[in-house]
């Protein structure tokens, strides 16, 4: 059934618009991004925001510190779907000084701005992205930060699914592992359907992620866990730790988590996304001096070092291929891409070694060619290192459309029954 009403979307930490681009690729008629915020602190130039604003001509584009946006603004916007890729920070909490006003998170932690949107706007769906180490942080209390997040969603009447997805496993050109978090309001049609399915079946077969990113349905018996979150979020912050696996579900504070193995799809390779060599500017080819530097950086090494207090130790680093293999997907792209850095991609074509170009970086993230044109190369690399793989969001957008169609059918059936 065709959905008649558009979904109002709020995009936080929007960058150059990867979430919006993916949703619009899924269905430009359904997803209506009414407000998007992108602000880079301590920078005069706002390159990502400028790129976003020039790429999209509808909705309100906000270039302000999200912490200064009023609660009333969020209430006014009233989104159906909240999306964003937020920083991995310290999510610990503490009692307020009076003790009577509950708890407070550390100042500057942007997840608390997501919480503020949820408290004021109550979106039906939330789709977030983060680095996969979020599930294990901090190292001194494994899983605490993610548990604080889950408890926050629980206390605001949401259920949550999560999945670590490597884009290359599902046909894309980059081996980029990120954790995606999908939260949905309890009481929705989707939520009611999930109640009828056991938690393991949700994660492995019938949940939000499993339908679109299939996994093998036989779990590792020693790599799945159940638990229940403590009721007091301060208790979680101070004492709780847990081994969150690569996929899971939380509803009403109950947790099921498991390691899942993806049903692999044929990957796109580096060779597939490279430009024709006749189009490559000479500046991207390595000089003999740069080749020597990369040979050293990418080679194995053992270096004796001394700490400030005189302690000597050996720093060891394993070797890697002198150039990136063209018949494999690219490695995870970082914000340092294009610099003299071990993590930078180096390809060899027709006997010459070179950096990958900004356009090829855009292709690694499945953006259109020249999406970031107009910035310096340094900023184009930086923005793509921060971006997500757009094609993954397109797939998730289509899954949200399926949920909306089911919800609409349920409402029609209810109206028919009442009449």
Q: Give me the DSSP letters along 210-242.
A: HHHS-B-S---TTSEEEEE--S-HHHHHHH---
**Whether the Cβ atoms of residue 176 and residue 166 lie closer than 8 Å to each other:** yes
pLDDT band at 93 (very low <50, low <70, confident <90, very high): confident
Query: What's the pLDDT score for residue 96?
Result: 61
**Whether the Cβ atoms of residue 417 and residue 207 lie closer than 8 Å to each other:** no
Instruction: Among 40-44, 45-49, 139-143, 236-240, name the one with the lowest average pLDDT.
Output: 40-44
Q: DSSP class of residue 204?
A: I
Please, what are the domains in the chain? 7-265+389-418 (3.40.50.150), 270-386 (3.90.120.10)
Query: What's the pLDDT score for residue 407?
Result: 82
Q: What is the set of active-site residues?
A: 88
- Kindly tell me the burial class for residue 2, based on how many C-beta atoms sit within 10 Å of its own C-beta (0-12, 13-18, 19 or more): exposed
Query: What's the pLDDT score for residue 129?
Result: 97
Strand stretches in 259-336, DSSP E: 301-306, 312-317
Query: What's the pLDDT score for residue 283?
Result: 98
Instruction: Among 90-99, 184-193, 350-359, 374-383, name the one with the lowest average pLDDT.
Output: 90-99
Query: What's the pLDDT score for residue 261?
Result: 96
Cα–Cα distance, 49 to 61 (Å, whole number) = 8
> What confidence tens digit (pLDDT) does each residue in 44-86 have?
899 999 999 999 999 999 999 999 999 999 999 999 999 999 8
> What confidence tens digit (pLDDT) does each residue in 150-173 have?
999 999 999 999 999 999 999 999
Average pLDDT, the chain: 93
Averaged over 127-139, what is the pLDDT?
95
> What confidence tens digit (pLDDT) does each residue in 96-123 have?
655 544 556 776 689 999 999 999 999 9
Query: What's the pLDDT score for residue 352?
Result: 97
Query: What's the pLDDT score for residue 410?
Result: 75
Query: What's the pLDDT score for residue 221?
Result: 81
Query: What's the pLDDT score for residue 222?
Result: 83
Cα–Cα distance, 32 to 43 (Å, whole number) = 29
Cα–Cα distance, 113 to 67 (Å, whole number) = 7
Query: What's the pLDDT score for residue 92?
Result: 82
Query: What's the pLDDT score for residue 42?
Result: 78
Cα–Cα distance, 374 to 5 (Å, whole number) = 36
SS3 278: helix
Angle between the 377-386 and 47-55 helix axes, to the nearest 10 degrees? Answer: 80
Query: What's the pLDDT score for residue 104?
Result: 66
Cα–Cα distance, 143 to 294 (Å, whole number) = 36
Closest listed residue to residue 366, CA positions, set 332, 392, 346: 392
Bridge partner list, 268:
none
Query: What's the pLDDT score for residue 134?
Result: 95
Residue 218: other Cβ atoms inside 10 A: 8
Query: What's the pLDDT score for residue 412?
Result: 74
Closest listed residue to residue 183, CA positions, set 2, 396, 377: 396
Residue 306 has pLDDT above 90, yes or no: no
pLDDT band at 3 (very low <50, low <70, confident <90, very high): low
Cα–Cα distance, 379 to 175 (Å, whole number) = 22
Bridge partner list, 221:
none
Query: What's the pLDDT score for residue 291?
Result: 97
Query: What's the pLDDT score for residue 324?
Result: 98
Q: Report whether the peptide linkage leading into residue 368 is cis, meaning its omega lies within 30 degrees of zero.
A: no
**Whether the Cβ atoms of residue 58 and residue 20 lie closer than 8 Å to each other:** no
Averaged over 330-349, what is the pLDDT?
97
Quickly tell me which residue has 């509803």 as its tokens: 251
Query: What's the pLDDT score for residue 415?
Result: 67
> What confidence tens digit (pLDDT) does each residue in 244-288 have?
999 999 999 999 999 999 999 998 999 999 999 999 999 999 999
pLDDT band at 183 (very low <50, low <70, confident <90, very high): very high
Cα–Cα distance, 90 to 92 (Å, whole number) = 6
């Amino acid at each position: 059934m065709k959905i008649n009403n558009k979904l109002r979307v709020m995009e936080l930490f929007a960058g150059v618009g990867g979430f919006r681009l993916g949703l619009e690729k899924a269905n430009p008629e359904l997803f209506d991004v009414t407000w998007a915020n992108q602000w880079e602190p301590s920078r005069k130039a706002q390159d990502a925001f400028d790129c976003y604003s020039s790429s999209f001509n509808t909705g309100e584009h906000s270039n302000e510190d999200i912490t200064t946006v009023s609660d009333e603004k969020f209430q006014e916007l009233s989104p159906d779907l909240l999306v964003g890729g937020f920083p991995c920070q310290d999510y610990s909490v503490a009692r307020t000084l009076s003790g009577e006003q509950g708890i407070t998170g550390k100042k500057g932690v942007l997840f608390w701005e997501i919480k503020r949107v949820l408290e004021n706007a109550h979106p039906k769906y939330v789709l977030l992205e983060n680095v996969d180490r979020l599930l294990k942080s901090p190292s001194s209390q494994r899983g605490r930060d993610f548990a604080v997040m889950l408890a926050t969603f629980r206390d605001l009447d949401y259920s949550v699914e999560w999945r670590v997805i490597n884009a290359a496993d599902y046909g894309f050109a980059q081996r980029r592992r990120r954790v995606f978090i999908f939260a949905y309001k309890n009481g929705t049609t989707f939520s009611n359907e999930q109640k009828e399915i056991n938690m393991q079946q949700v994660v492995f077969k019938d949940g939000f992620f499993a339908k679109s990113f299939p996994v093998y349905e036989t779990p590792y018996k020693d790599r799945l866990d159940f638990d229940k979150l403590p009721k007091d979020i301060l208790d979680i912050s101070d004492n709780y730790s847990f081994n969150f696996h690569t996929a899971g579900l939380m509803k009403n504070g109950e947790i099921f988590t498991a390691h899942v193995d993806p049903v692999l799809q044929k990957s796109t390779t580096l060779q597939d996304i490279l430009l024709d060599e006749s189009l490559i500017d000479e500046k991207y080819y390595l000089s003999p001096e740069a080749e020597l530097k990369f040979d050293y950086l990418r080679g194995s090494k053992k270096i004796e070092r001394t700490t400030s207090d005189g302690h000597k130790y050996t720093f060891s680093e394993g070797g890697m291929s002198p150039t990136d293999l063209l018949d494999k997907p690219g490695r995870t792209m970082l914000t340092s891409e294009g610099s003299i850095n071990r993590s930078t991609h180096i390809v060899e074509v027709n006997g010459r070694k070179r950096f990958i170009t900004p356009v090829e970086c855009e292709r690694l993230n499945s953006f259109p060619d020249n999406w970031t044109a107009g910035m310096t190369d340094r900023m184009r690399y930086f923005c793509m290192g921060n971006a997500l793989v757009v094609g993954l969001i397109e797939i998730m957008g289509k899954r949200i459309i399926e949920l909306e169609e089911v919800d609409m059918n349920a409402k029609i059936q209810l109206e028919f029954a009442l009449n």
